[in-house]
Structure 1
Amino acid sequence: MRRALRHHSLGLFFGALFLLSLAGQAFAGWHASNAEQAADGLGTLSFGRYLVSSDFAVDITENWQSEYLQFLLFITATVWLLQRGSPESKELDKAGLESDEDQKVGKYADERSPRWAAVGGIRTTVFSWSLALVMGTIFLVSWLAQSIAGQVAFNEARLGRRQDPLTWTEYVANADFWSRTLQNWQSEFLAVGSMAVLAIYLRQRGSPESKPVGEAHDATGVEG
C-alpha cells in the first residue's frame, strides 16, 4: 500500500488539492452569492441549490476551459516550436513529429509498447494524437458548458433589471462572455510562457520541470 501511494503520490496530491479547492470555492461562493441576494432584497439559496446554480457552473467551467486550452496549445505547439535553453522545449534538432523509429511506432515498437502503437493504421494514428484529442475535447465541452451557464446567469441579471434575455448566439457574441473567457486565457498564456522562459535561467533541484542545477543556460530539452 505504501509503495502504491508513493508511486502515485503526484496524482493523488493534486487530486486532493483539487477536491479541497473545489469544496472551498463552493462554500465561499455560496456565501458570496447569498450576500448579493440579501443586498438585492432577495431570498437566500441553500447550499444544495447553489451547487446546481448557473453562477456556480459558470465559475467552474470558465476556469476548466482555460486550463485545458493551455495544455492543448502547449502540447501541440511544442511539437514544432522550440525555446533555446528551456527544459520545456525539445532539443533544437527535433522539431516536428519525429520518425517512427524515434517514436517507437509500428515495426519499431518494442515488447513494452502499447498495443495501439504497434498495430499501425488508423488506431496508431489516433493513439499518436490521443492526448491532444482528449485535451481538446475537454476544452470544447467546458467552453460550451461555460457559454450555456453564463447565458443563464447573464439573463437572470437582465430579467432582474427588466431587460429582454439574450439567445445563446447573442450571448456568445456579447462582451460578458468574452470578458470571462479572455481574463482566464491571458493568465494561462502568461504562466506557460513564463515557465518556458524562466526555466532557461532558473533552477529547481530535483524537478523534471527544471534543468540540473549545474547545466548550462543554453542546454535545451534537458530535464533534471
Structure 2
Amino acid sequence: MSDASVGDGREQPPRSSFWRDNGLTLAFGGAFLVVLAGQALAGRAGFNEDLAVDGLQQLTLGEYLMSSDFAVDVTENWQSEFLQFFLYIFGTVWLLQRGSPESKPLHKAGTESDEEQRVGAHARADSPRWAGTRDWRQNLYSRSLGAVMALLFVLSWLAQSVAGTAAYGEQQLRQLQPPLSWGAYLVSADFWSRSLQNWQSELLAVAAMAILSVYLRQRGSPESKPVGSSHTSTGVEG
C-alpha cells in the first residue's frame, strides 16, 4: 500500500470507470431492452392467436414489430411514464409531504432563491454555462428537465393516438365495420381507456412512494431516509 493512501488517514475515493459511473443508466437501459424484447415475443404470440381465431394469416416477428398493434402497446406505456415524471417534477416544486424524502423541506416550497439554485451571480465555476447567464437561456435551462419530459409525453401520446387509430381500424375491418378517422378515435372509448388505465396506475405509484417513504426505509437508497431518521424528517435522503 502506498504512503499516499495511508499518510493522512483519509479514505480514498473509489476508482472511476465507465461501467461504475453509469451503472444506473446501463442497468435500467439494458433491462428495458430485455423486457421490450419479451413484450414483442409475448405480444406476437397473443396477436397471432387472435388472427388464427379469425382464420387470418399469422405474422412473423418482423411483421409484428412493424405493426400498429405493437406500436400502440409500447407507446401507451411510454406516454404514461413520461406524464408521471412530468407531473412529479413540476408538482414537487410546490407540493410537499411532511416526513418524505421525495419532498423538499417544508420551508422550501416554490422555485427557491438564485443563491439556493446557484444561478446568475451565484453560479459556480463548475456550474452549467447557461446557469450563469441572466437572460432567456437561464430561464430555459432552469426548466429544461420538466419541459423535455412534457415534450416526450406529448410526442408519445401523439404516437399512441396514430398507432391506436390504425390498430383499432384493423379490428373494425376484421369485424366488417368501417374504421374510425384519427379525430374520431381521439374521442373514442378505446383511446381514453388505454390512456386512463395507465395514468391511474402511475399516479397511484407516486402517491404510494411519497407516503410509504415517510414510515418505511431502504438502507443505502437515496430514495429513502437514513434508517434512523425520524418519521417527521423531510427532504432527507439516505
Q: TM-score, normalised by structure 1?
A: 0.98
- Superposed CA deviations along residues 75-129 of structure 1, whole A, max 9, x for unmatched, are 0000000000000000000000000110000110000000010022001110000
CA deviation profile, 1:47-100 (whole Å, cap 9, x unmatched)? 111001000000000000000000000000000000000000000000000001
The answer for the alignment partner of 2:179 in structure 1 is: 165
Deviates further, 183-192 or 156-165: 156-165
2:78 to 19, 42, 64: 64
> Aligned partners of 1:180 and 1:82: how far apart in 2?
30
State the SS of the aligned residue for 1:187: helix
Question: What letter corresponds to residue 31 of structure 1 in structure 2?
Answer: A
CA distance in 2 between counterparts of 1:49 and 1:4 reads 37
Q: Distance in 2 between matches of 1:214 and 1:195?
A: 19
Q: Distance in 2 between matches of 1:26 and 1:108?
A: 50
1:124 counterpart letter in structure 2: Q
Number of matched pairs: 224
Paired residue for 2:188? Answer: 174
- What residue is the counterpart of 2:11 in the other structure? none
2:122 to 108, 112, 116: 108
2:206 to 192, 196, 207: 192
Equivalent residue number for residue 168 of structure 2: 154
Distance in structure 2 (CA, Å) of the matches to 1:25 and 1:2: 35
Query: Residues of 2 paired with 1:218 and 1:132: CA distance?
Result: 28
Matching residue's letter, 1:218:
T
Q: Using the alignment, how far apart are the partners of 2:55 and 2:90 within structure 1? A: 50
CA RMSD in angstroms comes to 1.0
Within-5 A mapping of 1:16-95: 16-95=30-109
The residue number in structure 2 matching 1:137 is 151
2:221 aligned to which of 192, 207, 215 = 207
Per-residue deviation, 1:2 = 7.2
Task: Report the residue type matching 1:188 in the other structure.
Answer: E
Distance in 2 (alpha carbons) for counterparts of 1:191 and 1:139: 18
Q: Normalising by structure 2, what TM-score?
A: 0.93
1:15 has 2:15 as partner? no
State the alpha-carbon separation in 2 of the partners of residues 142 and 45 from structure 1. Answer: 25
Task: Measure the CA separation in 1 of the matches of 2:111 and 2:215.
Answer: 27
SS at match of 2:106: coil
State how far apart, in whole Å, the 2-side matches of 1:186 and 1:201 are: 23
Q: In 1, distance between residues paired with 2:227 and 2:167?
A: 49
Distance 1:120 1:52 in 2: 47
Aligned to 1:6: 20
Q: Distance in 1 between matches of 2:136 and 2:145?
A: 15
Alpha-carbon distance in 2 for matches of 1:160, 1:20: 32
* Structure-2 separation of matches of 1:95 and 1:151: 42
Distance in 1 between residues matched to 2:174 and 2:62, nearest whole Å: 23
User: Structure 2: where are the runs of 5+ without partners?
Assistant: 1-14
Instruction: Report the residue type matching 2:90 in the other structure.
Output: T
Identity %, equivalent residues: 60
Q: How far did residue 32 of structure 1 move? A: 1.1
Structure with bigger gyration radius: 2
1:3 Cα deviation from its structure 2 partner: 2.0
